[in-house]
Every structure is written in C-alpha cells, then in structure tokens.
C-alpha cells in the first residue's frame, strides 16, 4: 500500500509555479493576478479565502480580496465581477461560494469572463471539459487528475467508480477520466444516492473516487484488493480527545480500506491541499492565455 501524499505534491507544484512567476519577473513581465470576492461573513468561507490569498502571496501572484457585506445586492456583485472582467491586472476571478440566498449563484458564475474562470464553474468551461477541449477545470477534480500523473498511476482502460455527482467534484472528475488522454481514458461509472446497493459498484472499482460527504461510509468489504482510492470527503466528527473536540475524516474508513489498497489518499493531507495548488495553476494558465504566451 502506498500513501498518496497530496500535501507534499501540492508543495512541489507551488514551488514549480513560484519559479515560473519568478522568471516572469526577471524578464520584466507583469505577474499573474487573482481577485477573490467574498460576500457575507461565513467563517468557513473566510478561512478558505484567506488561505487562497496567502498561497498567492507565497508564490508571487498578485492578489486582491474583495469583501462585501451580506446585504450586497445581486446587481452590485454583478457590477463588481464585470469591473474585474475588464481589469487587465487580474487574470483570475474567484467568487467564493456559497453566496447569500438572495443572490442567484448561477447568474454570478455566468457573469465571470470564461477567460478568467479559474474555478472552472462557468458553463462554457464545463462544456469545453465535456467535449474534451482545453479549458479551466475546477480545482478539486483537476487536483485528483494531477495526483494520477504525479504518482504515475495507470488509468487507461481501468474501471473508475465515482461516488457523488456534484457539479464541483463528481461530474467533472467523471468527465476528466473519460477523456481519451494520458492519465484518463478510463471506463467510468458514476454513483449517487439512488444506488440501491452501493457496494455492487464500488467492489468493481480499479480506482474508487469517493466524493459523497458521508464520514467513513466506504468500508473495507466494499472494495477489492489492489484498488486505488481517492478520498475527497472532508467530514468533521466529534472527538473529545482532540483539543478542538473534533477531527477530520474522509468518506472512506481509512483503517479498513488502506490495507487492501494499492494507493490511497489520506484525510487530511490527500486531495485537500491539491485544490489550492490547482487554483494557483489555473491563475497562471489564465495569465498565459490572456497574454498570448501559451
Ligand atoms: P455534495 O453534497 O454536493 O454531493 C454529494 C454527492 O454524493 C451527491 O451526488 C450524493 O447523491 C452522493 N451521495 C451521498 N450519499 C451517498 C450514498 N450513501 N450513496 C451514494 N451516493 C451518495 O458534495 P460535494 O461534491 O460538494 O463534496 C463531497 C465531499 O467532498 C464533501 O465531504 C466535501 O467536504 C468534500 N470536498 C472536498 C474538497 C477538497 O478536498 N478541497 C472540495 C470539495 C468538496 P445525490 O446527488 O443523489 O444527492
């Protein structure tokens, strides 16, 4: 069994990007810029945004954090997005979700210029992914794909079983793995809550991607020997022995599943750290594309 160390891989990617950004500076170029837009004061969103901003500054990407009050109108937010669509200093625009209930998230996502859609949530980005064109791929699925590459995991012709069909994880990773490309080209099954007997599907997986949001749901007897396991879930469970009173677990019962696995991602330290690394990568890519440098 080999542990896929997402923390280490993400750090390597960040250092590679830093070198690229440094080279831009040395050759007198502008650097990539990312603007984050946060509406309201959801504590989890605040933590996510601040870690994205910190990651940008560590590798030399210019960043700006727009923080708007929770009573910001949809129109005001759309105007701000439009302002950054036109601002040449910012190559990526990230609107932190979820938005307050009075704002239509779809409308806001669709207002972001597809050229600056570093989160990969715009319908044009998703459409391009489905038809196999180069595009911005949402960060968590892009991070999973990157892990397959970096760990040289054979995916061609393998049966990938994805548990979860969300627009941000399940559907995009299923579409990535379907592509006739390196580290994809797989046979893909997507499961969701209507599956009567989930283990019927998971037991067939050569590669199992669990993105359900159910703590330790995938047990040892639900997988076959030699499976590659990507655990996307991040769930808090009560643990009075921990200072915070909780600990993080994935969707996979790690202690049971790891001994049967060829490769497995831990939680934390597996898929999670890859997400921000891919956001930085997408911002760099947006910069290159906008400047005709790719
Ligand atoms: P969603 O809640 O949007 O989707 C969960 C999916 O899992 C749904 O499609 C649901 O089916 C399916 N599902 C839930 N329970 C079962 C079950 N018992 N059997 C089969 N299918 C089931 O979650 P997300 O995709 O947003 O996130 C999934 C997990 O990944 C969460 O723990 C989240 O915290 C984590 N996450 C981690 C990220 C990171 O590492 N950076 C980023 C994003 C998410 P149905 O559609 O029928 O309801």
Q: Mind listing the domains of the chain with CATH numbers?
A: 28-114 (3.40.50.10860), 139-272 (3.40.50.720)
pTM score of the predicted model: 0.97
The residues, any chain, with a CB within 8 Å of residue 54's CB and separated by 6 or more, are none
Q: Which one from 116, 117, 119, 281 is the annotated catalytic residue?
A: 119
Confirm or reject: Cβ of 271 under 6 Å from ligand 1: yes
Pocket mutation for ligand 1, best pick of 232, 250, 252, 273 (most atoms within 8 Å of C-beta):
232
Annotated catalytic residue 255: no
Neighbouring-strand partners of residue 33 = 62
Tokens of 115: 């050229």
Q: Residues of the chain with pLDDT > 70: what percent?
A: 100
Residue nearest to atom 31 of ligand 1 (CA): 213
Which ligand 1 atom is nearest residue 163's CA?
21
How does pLDDT run across 70-97, given as a tens digit for each residue?
999 999 999 999 999 999 999 999 999 9
Give the mean pLDDT of 101-110: 98
In the reported structure, the alpha carbon of residue 66 is separated from the centroid of ligand 1 by a whole-number distance in angstroms of 28
Distance of CA 253 to the CA centre of its chain: 22
pLDDT of residue 267: 98
pLDDT of residue 237: 95
Give the mean pLDDT of 52-59: 97
Tell me how many degrees the CA angle 135-3-137 measures, rounded to the nearest 5. Answer: 10
Burial of 293 (0-12, 13-18, 19+ CB in 10 A): exposed
pLDDT of residue 294: 83
């Amino acid at each position: 069994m080999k542990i896929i160390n997402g923390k280490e891989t993400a750090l390597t990617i960040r250092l590679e990007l830093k070198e690229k950004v440094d080279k831009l500076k040395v050759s007198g170029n502008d650097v990539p810029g990312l603007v984050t837009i946060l509406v309201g004061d959801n504590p989890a969103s605040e933590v996510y945004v601040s870690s994205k901003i910190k990651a940008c500054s560590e590798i030399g990407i210019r960043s700006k954090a727009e923080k708007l009050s929770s009573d910001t109108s949809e129109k005001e937010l759309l105007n701000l997005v439009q302002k950054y669509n036109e601002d040449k200093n910012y190559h990526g625009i990230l609107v932190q979700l979820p938005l307050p209930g009075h704002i239509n998230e779809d409308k806001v996502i669709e207002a972001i210029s597809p050229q600056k859609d570093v989160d990969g949530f715009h319908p044009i980005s998703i459409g391009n992914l489905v038809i196999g064109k180069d595009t911005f791929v949402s960060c968590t699925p892009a991070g999973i794909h990157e892990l397959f590459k970096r760990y040289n995991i054979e995916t061609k012709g393998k049966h990938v079983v994805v548990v979860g069909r969300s627009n941000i994880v399940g559907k995009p990773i299923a579409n990535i793995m379907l592509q006739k490309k390196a580290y994809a080209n797989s046979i893909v099954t997507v499961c969701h809550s209507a599956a009567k007997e989930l283990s019927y599907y998971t037991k067939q997986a050569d590669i199992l991607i669990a993105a359900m949001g159910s703590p330790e749901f995938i047990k040892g007897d639900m997988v076959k020997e030699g499976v590659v396991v990507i655990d996307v879930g991040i769930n808090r469970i009560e643990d009075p022995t921990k200072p915070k009173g909780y600990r993080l677990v994935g969707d996979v019962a790690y202690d049971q599943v790891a001994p049967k696995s060829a490769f497995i991602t831990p939680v934390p330290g597996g898929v999670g750290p890859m997400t921000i690394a891919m956001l930085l990568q997408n911002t760099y890519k947006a910069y290159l594309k906008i400047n005709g440098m790719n």
